[in-house]
């Protein structure tokens, strides 16, 4: 998949302030504040920066953490995972494989069978409704 490379000035033109801070600077939205935390419509969650398909709504679950959580990405090539040693802890950061947007983190405490919890900022997502399951 070809990478999208834009300057920060170009991203600032395309994104609102919170989405820019989350996706381009690695910020985190406050828990329970995101528009997709308690959202269960049918469709596809895409990267707000580039439209890359990230998660199908059927993979979403309520983790109780305050952020949208998913047990599997849309495809094995949707995401990139990187070690994150910020804030005095070791975590696995999740980024969009197409534009390198920061999305959130993945943890090994999700539901079976994947046992994964992709904890994603709403500000990094765009939702496309679909009636097809």
Catalytic residues: 119
| Strand, coil or helix: 13 | helix
Residue whose token pair is 């696995």: 92
C-alpha closest to that of 118 among 47, 70, 62:
70
Other CB atoms closer than 10 Å to residue 108's CB: what's the count? 9
Question: By three-state DSSP, how is residue 129 classified?
Answer: strand
Cα gap 11→19, rounded to integer Å: 10
Helical H runs in 1-133? 8-14, 17-25
């Amino acid at each position: 998949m070809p990478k999208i490379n834009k300057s920060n000035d170009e991203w600032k033109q395309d994104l609102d302030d919170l989405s820019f801070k989350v996706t381009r600077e690695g910020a985190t939205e406050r828990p329970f504040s995101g528009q997709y935390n308690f959202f269960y419509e049918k469709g596809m969650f895409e990267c707000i920066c580039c439209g890359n398909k990230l998660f199908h709504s059927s993979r979403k679950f309520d983790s109780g953490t305050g952020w949208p959580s998913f047990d599997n990405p849309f495809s094995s090539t949707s995401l990139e995972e990187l070690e994150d040693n910020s804030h005095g802890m070791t975590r696995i950061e999740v980024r969009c494989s197409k534009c390198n947007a920061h999305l959130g983190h993945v943890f090994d405490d999700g539901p079976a069978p994947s046992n994964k919890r992709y904890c994603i900022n709403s500000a990094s997502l765009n939702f496309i409704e679909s009636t097809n399951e």
